[in-house]
Structure 1
Amino acid sequence: MKIQSEKFRVEPDKKFRLDDRPTIIKPYCKSKKQYRKTLEDHVEELSSLQQLHYASHRYALLIIFQGIDAAGKDGAIRHVMSGVNPEGCEVFSFKQPSAEELEHDFLWRTTCRLPERGRIGIFNRSYYEEVLVVRVHPEILKNEGLSEELRDEKAVWKERYRSIENFESHLHVNGTRVVKIFLHLSQEEQRKRFLERIDEPDKNWKFSITDIHERKYWKQYAAAFEECLNATSTEASPWFVVPADDKENARLIISRIVMDALKDLKMSYPKTTAKRKAELQAIRKLLMK
């Protein structure tokens, strides 16, 4: 079974249409048992790559998850990154901005959470909310403290796309690799998952009446995502559109995307110097006594 991550990439030089990408594809595994074994193998390989990434200490990896409510962001992060050493990986979720965050530019609150070299940073939602939910609900702009001139709807989204692209380009040339994953969910599958959250007691906490309210804006969100992905998928910091109706398939695809991103870093363990080897041999002799 070969999962090709490039198949899900949004090419920067081609016009992207969200309707052209499926929300579900043929399962990679024929059974639950095969899926669990495949994911286990992926997680094990990811763990080894993360250890190498941590030891080489040359790059940082930022993974951004975006998607409509119930697309499976939390579950994907939990399952795919289950074998990664917590010491080398941090997850941040970004909700409604705080009063302090609104006093800064829209990139400020996420910039403070960027991963260090040798580490993996995961953003569950991100600065992209500022060209997605804020675009669908432009009234939010009025509460962001911007002057009327800077809130001009004819220019604000284009300027924010440009800010994001420049920001990610800056990260890239300074050693942070950015991988962006959009979980592509169908409206019908979202309806089913919302019903599960209502019917299953242990999932009640996941459901909010605002989730139903946001469903009314499905077409507006789809348009915002499509324009955003077209504007911000670059060669250095690509978007990947992952079919999300099948959670198991989505997790296998995501794990492959992350593994390929780490492999592209061409990492190696630090070489031991002659002086360091001598020190270790001296310590070894002491331990053998």
Structure 2
Amino acid sequence: MPVQGAKEKYLVEPGSKVNLKKLETDDRSLYDDGGKEEGKLAMNELLEEMRELQRVLYAENKHRILVVIQAMDTGGKDGCVKSVFPTVDPQGIHVEPFKKPSEEELAHDFLWRVHAKVPRNGQIVVFNRSHYEDIIAVKVKKIYEDKVWKNRYGHVVDFERMLSEEGTTIVKIYLHISKEEQRQRLESRLENPDKHWKFNPDDLKDRALWDDFMVTYEDVLSKTSTKDAPWYVVPADRKWYRNLVVARIMVDTLKKLNMQYPEITWDPSSMKIED
């Protein structure tokens, strides 16, 4: 199977110190069978496997899966979700984008809006951005005083531990792109009128703070990758490889749950469909 060992290679070991400069953004070392076209064929195998695993997840109605995806602007969050989960039954998956908090959300604690969106039994929920924005953006953009974001590290770890102990499997993905790759993707949006809607002038302000974002992401990845809720740093300059790695991580995570279709309490042979 393609990209075996993805969970192990890209896992942020709990307690380890992350240095993003030392982690390749264009790595494809776990897939030596070919390039982009061959990768698409391998991806189809994984998507078929995921479809079956998700059917069992939904039918068993026992486990909950929370997938957190974080990245810099243009990092590929939307593309990753579309590419990794197209075969999943829409009844069993929800994608939750966390944008700027509303007035109602700001009137509560920062996890209030997040807790309402976590998965129930039998569901996969994907956070496209997440509660981590309330540390990362708040710190880098100096929205609140330091003690606010510093306290949130502990709140997030406790929150995720509670979800895990209550039966939620948590997978956190950081899509790791280079500054040069981001430049190319931003330029592509400017050059193509069909992509203008994807360009936000504020992205340039965030790009100017690239180094600050990297330091903050390193801090977040180091302090909040736990046994209950591990982070994976996935190289994301090559979109096809990014998708393969994330799909492999998801398939391996679902397999580990040892799910089974519910046992029936009736005899199929005794059932007769009348005309």
**Under TM normalisation by the shorter chain, which class is it?**
over 0.9
Write out aligned runs for 1:48-59 (5 A). Answer: 48-59=52-63
Deviation at 1:14, TM superposition (A): 2.1
Segments of 5+ residues of structure 1 without an aligned counterpart are 142-150
CA separation in 1, counterparts of 2:87 and 2:216? 34
Q: Is residue 2:6 matched to residue 1:7?
A: no
Structure 1 residue 39: Cα displacement: 1.1
Q: Residues 3 and 245 of structure 2 are in contact (CA less than 8 Å); yes or no, is this contact kept in structure 1?
A: no
- Segment of structure 1 superposing worse, 249-258 or 18-27: 18-27
SS at 1:240's partner residue? Answer: strand
Match in the other structure for 2:106:
102
Question: Quick one: structure 1 residues 78 and 69, their matched pair in 2 at CA, closer, same or farther if it must change by over 3 Å?
Answer: same
* Residue matched to 1:146: none
Q: Which amino acid aligns with 1:86?
A: P
In structure 2, distance between residues paired with 1:99 and 1:121:
24
Report deviation, 1:236: 1.6
Work out which of the residue numbers 197, 209, 212 in structure 1 matches 2:201. 209
User: SS at 1:285's partner residue?
Assistant: coil
Indicate conservation of the 8 Å contact 2:111/2:131, yes or no: yes
Q: How many Å separate the matches in 2 of 1:64 and 1:134?
A: 18
Letter in 2 for 1:248: W
Three-state SS of the structure 1 residue aligned to 2:120 is coil
Q: Which residue of 2 aligns with 1:170?
A: 162
Cα deviation for residue 269 of structure 1 reads 0.9
Q: Unmatched 5+ residue regions in structure 2?
A: none
2:138 is the alignment partner of 1:134: yes
| Separation (CA, whole Å) in 2 of partners of 1:26 and 1:225 | 22
SS in 1 for 2:262: coil
| 1:24-39 pair list within 5 angstroms | 24-26=26-28, 28=31, 29-39=33-43
Of 56-65 and 8-17, deviating more is 8-17
Shift of 1:135: 0.6
Alpha-carbon distance, 1:33 to partner: 2.9
Q: For residues 19-40 of structure 1, what are the alpha-carbon distances to aligned partners after superposition, in whole Å with 9 as ceiling and x for unaligned? A: 2211111362524331221111
Distance 2:80 2:158 in 1: 28
- For 2:184 and 2:17, locate their aligned partners in 1 and report how far apart those are by CA, in whole Å: 31
Alignment correspondent of 2:84: 80
1:68 matches 2:72:
yes
What TM-score does the superposition give when structure 1 sets the normalisation length?
0.90
User: Conserved in 1, the CA contact under 8 Å of 2:15 and 2:222?
Assistant: no
1:227 corresponds in structure 2 to 219
> 1:163: how far off?
0.5
In structure 2, relative to structure 1, the CA distance for the partners of 1:159 and 1:281 (3 Å cut) is same
The 4+ residue runs of structure 1 with deviation greater than 3 A are: none
Tell me how far apart the structure 2 counterparts of residues 77 and 219 of structure 1 sit (CA, whole Å): 26
Q: Structure 1: which amino acid aligns with 2:41?
A: K
Q: TM-score, normalised by structure 2?
A: 0.95
Counterpart in the other structure of 1:90 = 94
Q: Is the 2:3–2:244 contact (alpha carbons within 8 Å) kept by the matching residues of 1?
A: no
The 3-state SS of whatever aligns with 1:24 is coil
1:158 paired with 2:150, answer yes
Instruction: Kindly state the Cα deviation for residue 119 of structure 1 after the two structures are TM-superposed.
Output: 0.5
| Paired AA for residue 236 in structure 1 | D
Q: Is the 8 A contact 2:26 2:237 kept in 1?
A: yes
Whole-angstrom CA distance in 2 between matches of 1:2 and 1:94: 30
Deviates more, 1:1-10 or 1:162-171: 1-10
Q: Secondary structure at the match of 1:258?
A: helix
State the 1:105 CA deviation: 0.5
Kindly provide the amino acid, as one letter, of the partner of residue 256 in structure 1. R
- Partners of 1:215 and 1:198 lie apart in 2 by 15
Match of 2:238 among 246, 269, 280: 246
Give the greater-gyration-radius structure (CA).
Answer: 1
